[in-house]
Amino acid sequence: MSERSFVLATGFPAEQRNRQPFSLGNGKWIMLLEVAVGFLLIMVTVWTPRPLQTRLFWISAAWLAACTALNIWRSGIPRFRVPSLKAASWMVGAGVVLAAGLITLAAAAGTLHGLFGAQDPLRHAGGYMIWAIIQQYIQQAFFFTRFEQLTRNGVLAGLLSALLFGVVHLPNPVLAPVTFLGGWLLSELFRRYRTVLPLGIGHGLVGIAIALSVPDHIQHHMRVGLGYLRYIS
């Protein structure tokens, strides 16, 4: 597939072969502003107590949606690449294997426990899977693609988006390193396959396995930011 046909198939620019230095020309200041404000809103949200946190959550969501709409106005509706069944299967399958391995180790160590919350486990897990897919969309389709256009370097864009993903999960000692390393790997997969859904499913499976396997006194019910510090067992 040629580079031109790849762009038409994905709706996102392929990694630039001409690796020019970081440049903010040609309207890239707008992209940088979108990234900076989006990340700042997310950070303020996770470090703000309720009920103000709920309002900030929706403000953040509105900003991301507005930036997405602006990008559609600038470049047209993005068309994600549909990966082959084989590629999608092994991406999801890798998440299944990793999740099963974590649960097996937890069972052997005696740390396996139920999901936190009043909802039944299936509804809880289903809600988390949807949230994991949304997170992957934000990380890849919002942050990664803009970093890729700003830096003209897909590898660097993946590292930057993974770094932001990890920082958002501070000070959780489990989720912060896992989301940085996992975020970098998922960004590399997105860079190659330009798909979100199987990555989100794999993310969700591993996240549920961590919630079941790591003791709550360590991961604080998968909380981040102020919620992690205010956790009471």
pLDDT of residue 232: 77
pLDDT digits (tens, 9 = 90+) for 88-119: 899 999 999 999 999 999 999 999 998 886 57
Average pLDDT over residues 157-176: 97
pLDDT > 90: what percent of the chain? 70
**CA dihedral over 179, 185, 186, 187, signed as positive or negative:** positive
Average pLDDT over residues 180-208: 95
In this model, does residue 171 exceed pLDDT 90? yes
Radius of gyration from C-alpha coordinates of the chain: 18
- The rounded distance, in Å, linking the Cα atoms of 5 and 17 is 15
Q: At what angle do helices 154-168 and 28-46 cross, to 10 degrees?
A: 20
At 4, the amino acid letter reads R
pLDDT digits (tens, 9 = 90+) for 145-154: 999 999 999 9
pLDDT digits (tens, 9 = 90+) for 113-130: 988 865 788 888 999 999
Half-sphere exposure of 117 (CA within 13 A, CB side): 15
What is the SS3 string spanning 85-127?
HHHHHHHHHHHHHHHHHHHHHHHHHCCCCCCCCCCCHHHHHHH
In this model, does residue 207 exceed pLDDT 60? yes
In this model, does residue 182 exceed pLDDT 90? yes
pLDDT of residue 26: 60
In this model, does residue 227 exceed pLDDT 90? yes
pTM assigned to the model:
0.84
Average pLDDT over residues 121-144: 94
